[in-house]
Structure 1
């Protein structure tokens, strides 16, 4: 076992306590109102450094994507392979039940038949039954001039409607620029953009594809995309926690 695996395993034991300590009433309120919510201080500086240090070590990952080769922007990312690092796996497991409640409420409001089971293992079984067996949590790395185009992380027929990004680097110290950006397209209206300020260790929960919005005649669905603005200087690492697996 590498030193990186040991370090990640050591901090993973507190994943559930990290998640439970958040203000979930406020988080759900922000998700319903804005399509995104911040979890401040989800990870410590030490935990962030441990995760970012995994990036050069290929044994933790199943694939490496250079964004410019695919028209995704500039920068790069690696998808973790199974078994996931304990901290990533623990956060994925602990976050899912709380977000499944929101996801089921959203689908009911939007008239979508899909419902999500209360625990992540049961949801992953559904993914695997659909042939979606590849893990989707990823570690992203940006340098000066890098950015991520607006996009949606769907990966297959079965997709969970919320995901989480955790900033592992400190704005103003490790990098400048590189803000998380979310856009929302409402019917017959121009797109609305929201820049989400984050500090190292903060996480943002956001809608992957659609969310419900209350209108005068009931709820309607809006379409969302997310990305990262151009990095001005330094280096930025982020962990993305996606709850569905890919084909």
Structure 2
């Protein structure tokens, strides 16, 4: 199946209010984007799930006690729109990644281009595609986790909703928890509109304190799908070991 777009994906990503998105990322560790994909594009990407030759691996979440449901890792031969989305988001997220690393006193190894960064991942032994297409049915869910696949990690990633909440499925909210120092964890949930993306932290965000900046560990997952079927596209900016 070929997915055709009527305008450039890069222009759509660039059209977002990146000042406001960055503010949300700094405050909450996640930020909901504007619409990135049309209804037809969402349906076309969802339909790729049944084309097994496009994927390097299929994961049954119940088998590994990750939750319930299934997801597939694309091969490096990404469908055009998936590759374009990844390429378009990287330079927009790079300033946030570098700012967070500076605040936390951590290395910031990410070069200006995604291609060069992925080459660095490959030299470190992380050579497997980490782009994910997920499918949840009634009763499925995803346990709280982090998508860290090796030492080379980009601190932000994106999930894009491919089905319409309240129409194609109910439940299935995107859930994040933040471990706060000397306090109970804080949880947030987001209903992901069809065609919209959620940018979120891969593992933590910087938190301001009287002593400077500290690390706020975060995890993400998906609440139980109560009815219907839910597909999402996951964009990860480092490859897997």
Q: Which residue of 2 aligns with 1:176?
A: 170
TM alignment of 1:31-50, pairs within 5 A: 31-50=25-44
Q: 2:168 touches 2:228 (CA, 8 Å); kept in 1?
A: yes
Q: What is the RMSD computed on CA atoms of the aligned residues?
A: 1.0
Q: Which residue of 2 aligns with 1:193?
A: 187
Q: Which residue of 2 aligns with 1:145?
A: 139
1:59 is displaced (CA, Å) by 1.1
CA distance in 2, matches of 1:115, 1:220: 20
Q: 2:165 touches 2:191 (CA, 8 Å); kept in 1?
A: no
SS in 2 for 1:128: helix
Residue in structure 2 matching 1:154, options 138, 143, 148: 148
Residue in structure 2 matching 1:110, options 104, 122, 135: 104
- 1:198-224 deviation per Cα after TM superposition (whole angstroms, max 9, x unaligned): 210111000011110111111111100
Q: 2:170 touches 2:226 (CA, 8 Å); kept in 1?
A: yes
Residue in structure 2 matching 1:90, options 81, 84, 87: 84
1:128 aligns with 2:149: no
1:12 is displaced (CA, Å) by 8.3
Q: 1:175 touches 1:232 (CA, 8 Å); kept in 2?
A: yes
TM-score by length of 1: 0.95
CA distance in 1, matches of 2:60, 2:194: 24
Gapped runs of 5+ residues in structure 1?
none
- 1:166-224 deviation per Cα after TM superposition (whole angstroms, max 9, x unaligned): 00000011000000001100221110000012210111000011110111111111100
Q: 2:57 touches 2:74 (CA, 8 Å); kept in 1?
A: yes
Residue in structure 2 matching 1:238, options 225, 232, 237: 232
Q: Which residue of 2 aligns with 1:17?
A: 11
Q: Which residue of 1 aligns with 2:47?
A: 53
CA distance in 1, matches of 2:82, 2:6: 8
Count, aligned residues: 241
CA distance in 2, matches of 1:27, 1:115: 23
CA distance in 1, matches of 2:159, 2:107: 27
CA distance in 1, matches of 2:203, 2:6: 29
1:70 aligns with 2:64: yes
1:21 is displaced (CA, Å) by 1.0
TM-aligned CA distance change 1:12 to 1:114, over 3 Å: farther
- 1:117-136 deviation per Cα after TM superposition (whole angstroms, max 9, x unaligned): 11101110110110111111
SS in 1 for 2:5: helix
